[in-house]
Amino acid sequence: MDLGAGPGLDGTTFTAAGHSYVGIDLAFGNAVLASEVQIRIVQASIRALPIRSRSFEAGWSASTLMHLPSESASTALAEMVRVLRPGSPLWVGLWGSEDERSVTLRDETAECCRPFHLRCLERNRQLFANYTIVEDEDRWENAAPGEDYQIFRLRIED
């Protein structure tokens, strides 16, 4: 399950590797784009997934939780955990910052503004530890001073 799938670009890689794939994305347009390449995207909010509990064996979320403030990110993470089976892996990647901050950037292609809530590695680690087992983490420094991309390998508790 890809949580915050966008137009399903990662889905083509998963399906090419022989995995079943379902993406979730808030934008209907992304579901339409994904369908053009036979990728299944369900339009829904990751804060209220229309999916039966313990339905999936693995989860993937790249650059999604950073668009939610901490309280909403916590709700979304609880939902992610709910739909994954005990013992399942969950990989999460998100932009972060040493000096936690929120910024809103104008997205000219979508004609809207996109919020970014950048949290430090420790704060994200604690968020994930509230719901999962944090098995591994890494951070890649960004060209912008004080910013990084954080990658977490999580495991759903039994």
Q: What does the alpha-carbon distance between residue 152 and residue 128 come to, in Å, rounded to a whole number? A: 9
- By percentage, how much of the chain surpasses pLDDT 90? 82
Q: What is the pLDDT of residues 91-130, one digit of tens each?
A: 999 999 988 888 887 766 656 777 889 999 999 999 999 9
The pTM of this model reads: 0.90
pLDDT band of residue 158 (cuts 50, 70, 90) is: confident
Q: Which domains does the chain have, with CATH numbers?
A: 1-44 (no CATH), 56-155 (3.40.50.150)
For residue 129, the Cα-to-chain-centroid distance in whole angstroms is 16
Q: Which residue has the higher pLDDT, 24 or 107?
A: 24
How far, in Å, CA of 144 to CA of 137, rounded? 20
The H-or-E segment that residue 77 falls in is helix 70-83
Tokens describing residue 31 = 């579901």
Gyration radius of the chain over CA positions: 15
Looking at the chain, how many residues does it have? Answer: 158
